[in-house]
Amino acid sequence: MLKVLLRSVVIGLVTAAIIIAAMPSLRENILPKRSNASTDITSLQISFNSAVSKAAPAVVNIYSRKYSENNRNKLSTQGLGSGVIVSEKGYIITNYHVVAQADQIIVALQDGRVAAAQLVGKDRRTDIAVLRVEGNNLPVIPLNPNYQAKVGDVVLAIGNPYNLGQTTTFGIISATGRSSISADGRQAFIQTDAAINEGNSGGALVNTQGELVGINTASFQQATDLETYGISFAIPYALANTIMEKIIADGRVIRGYIGVDGQDINSVTSRLLGSEHVGGIIILAVDPNGPAAKAGFEPRDIILKIDDHKINGRQSVMDLVTNLRPGTVANFTLLRKGEEITVPVTISEDTR
């Protein structure tokens, strides 16, 4: 009986196999479908449309116009750049070099509106200028003060290169805190490989959420006939925002000054001093006419704190000092010959 049953099962399976082989159309109904390569690629498609849609309307075209030397009644466009609307009040951040020589500044929004802009103020040292336009329902770029730029983050550069119209390029953050390209070695830039060309200056560098990361400012060009690609720089949003607030408050940037130059403590020295002193900077030189000299600072002193703020390297000292108002007194904690001392310093204004 069992043999008869097994024989029937085998015959049935063989018959089914023969029928399926003879009629391929039946396979689609019986066998599961296999996903093909094109379906897999489609499902993995990546788009930054959402980020661009949020940020792009707030990125404007800027045209700098200047009076003709021969005819003071004639204005002609001399410069091209971009800017970013960062406030509903119409404040725009752009680069100083975009508007430095302008007699009139024209701003064109992506929705077709065109307006003359007021120059609120500019700061050559950081290459930041602040403009203002009047208007209702102005688009404002998304801002996130808690975002911290990190190497490897995907970023998008939005601007108006060569007056072609608004253009978005794509890349990653290659470095943060890149200060070697600044004139005085004091300003830290974000380095990216997103393409930044003429006309992009003052435009927005945004993350994949459309949030402002920085203000595009320059591309790296070697002093040779070789063209360089993939090395561009942006001013961090935190710095640009600080400069903007100072300009709005005072019409210019007022910086504190104490008159010292120093360098970060290296790893060997930090181990000798102990972990509690990591982040301090060694004073290399003291301006003989500066506030630090009057307060008694000496070369080889190590700055550990400014008021109650524990410092973290040379850049943090510069940031803290420049943000102090001239005339105020700040307490500096120094390490001198193995002993901590507190020295009050009256801050003066940096007029360099």
Active-site residues, by number, are 97, 127, 201
Closest residue by Cα to residue 119 from 92, 137, 159: 92
Amino acid at 162: Y
Instruction: Give dist(CA 55, CA 206) in Å, integer.
Output: 8
DSSP of 195-256, one letter per residue?
Answer: ---TT-TT-EEE-TTS-EEEEEEEE---SSS----S-EEEEEHHHHHHHHHHHHHHSS---E
Kindly report the length of the chain: 352
**333 in Cβ contact with 305 (< 8 Å):** yes
Instruction: List all residues 6 or more positions away from 252 whose beta carbon is below 8 Å from its beta carbon.
Output: 121, 123, 246
Q: How much of the chain is in helix, strand and coil states, percent to nearest 5? A: 25, 35, 40
How is residue 98 written in tokens? 């975009």
**233 in Cβ contact with 190 (< 8 Å):** yes
Instruction: List all residues 6 or more positions away from 181 whose beta carbon is below 8 Å from its beta carbon.
Output: 189, 218, 220, 233
**84 in Cβ contact with 212 (< 8 Å):** yes
Q: What is the 3-state secondary structure (H, E, C) of 124-164?
A: CCCCEEEEECCCCCCCCCCCCCCCCCCCCCEEEEEECHHHC
Residue in this structure with the two tokens 């700061």, named with its chain if needed: 123
Instruction: Give dist(CA 71, CA 179) in Å, integer.
Output: 43
